[in-house]
Structure 1
Amino acid sequence: MVRTSKVPVDLHDRTTQTLRETVATVYWATPRGAAVLVPARVAGTGVRVALAARGRPSLALAAHTCGVAELASWYRRSGFSVAAERQIVSLERPTPVAGRKVQNIVAWTVKVPGAVGVHPPDLGAVDKDGGRWAVELERDRSKTVIDYLGILGAYRASSTIRGQVWHVLVPATSAKIHTAAQRLGFQWAPAQAGAGLMVTTCGTLRMARWRPGTSLDGPASWAERLNFPAGAPAGLDAVAGPDTRDQWRQGTTVDVMADLWEPYEPFRMVA
């Protein structure tokens, strides 16, 4: 049903305030496991899509996925609905029809000039008003200002994306995104000292410093206040309403004190 991969990741050590290299176990669905998964509803669209199993991913992709999963947890804890890149690609990938490729749904992806296919965000986040925010985790140091010009411009030109948020690991990458934004005509608002956040005057482009997740050392380190900032990501407004941290994607509240939940029917078929 699942396979595992050992992935080297850097985690933030709260005691020494440094990054510590460690190894995490990542779980991937096998083709058999993927066959019994309930089709996922893609946030921001209301459409369900089945997710097929993929081949064994690279270690670099696995490490990136760990970082995106940590960001997804933060957005969800702030009340946002989230759409994973895998869901977005499965829903919006152009398909061949009568000898040409047709994209039936356009909600999250954008067309970057000069690039093949469509570009999905690493994560989609839906705010309290239903606006879609394209969230990118930028751990890559190799992209150029020209690369960012295309992506930033594509998101700005999109009629379905309200704004974009870039979570950036290294200052050199922040400088490239900053320059690309200025060339496109974005105006940066004055930055707050020590906030690790830059926002344009229009509010539709946000760049925040990203720090890897925290290494955990026993139950005392599991407290939410130690592992998640108090506010919403990138200075966005948290979504008001009931706490959604313990709800499944389909909206069913999980009662951790109740008896064991009944499994999804296809699980019985393969047991």
Structure 2
Amino acid sequence: MSTANTAKLKEQFDAGLETRADFTIDQPTERYGAVDHAVWQQLYARQTALLKGRVCDEFLAGVDCIGMPHDRVPSFDEINAKLTPATGWQIVAVPGLVPDQVFFEHLANRRFPVTWWMRRPDQLDYLQEPDCFHDLFGHVPLLINPVFADYMHAYGRAALAANDAGALPLLARLYWYTVEFGLIRDAASPNGVKIYGAGIVSSKGETLYSQQSAAPNRLGFDLERVMRTRYRIDTFQKTYFVIDDFAQLFGVAQTDFAPLLAKLATEPAFAAGDVLEQDRVITHGSQEGWQADGDI
């Protein structure tokens, strides 16, 4: 989701782009070179081929509806021409990860911050910070889906309140396990799941691991359970939470978060790999390759 004062963000500020108070910039399309467009083309071709049969139908429908170019970094204005009339959302260009408060204010106003710069050719398989491909290809196709779009809007408003109440880690976990690394039930697919989270759909390794590996847990989604569960930022996930359908996220969007945040504020957190007696277990992970520490 978001953070502040990263080295990459400082690098972008030092690059001389005019940055507004809300961290937005005009997409500097003139700065994209042949290498940037080639990286986009390679990643787009790889992921669209890999995701067939693995990602949820709603994501593929969003890709088709938005019509992202396959051979060049997209113009954000062109994307908005399709996105905004559909769900009221628009994407805004930013230099990189932005402060939490700014990020949530954008979401609460149906604006999704998209990093403008592209990763290098030697970073195709792993990138520490989200780039344009992750933000645009990973997140934006589902924002044209009305149910998911409403969930993201409701999340932004709830996260603003949580930030003010000092309960941000609880909402951060919800974002992580849905928007970034969410799975959805599909009985005909490997391990009974398909992919929808942006952190998965933009990653070759996590696409294969999340759906096909025996190592991670796959647990039925439960809001309180998710908000109490730590996660990984340096390796593949130990646990994925699986929604039944997007209507379940719509239900989450209707939640009165204030009393829930107050209730959970003093509850202990679970480790990223825990499986509890009350969990709805879809697959119990083998734990192969798990690291003993590093949960967030």
TM-score higher than 0.5: no
Q: Comparing both structures, which one devotes a greater share of its residues to strand?
A: 1
- The two structures have a TM-score, normalised by structure 2, of 0.29
- The two structures have a TM-score, normalised by structure 1, of 0.31
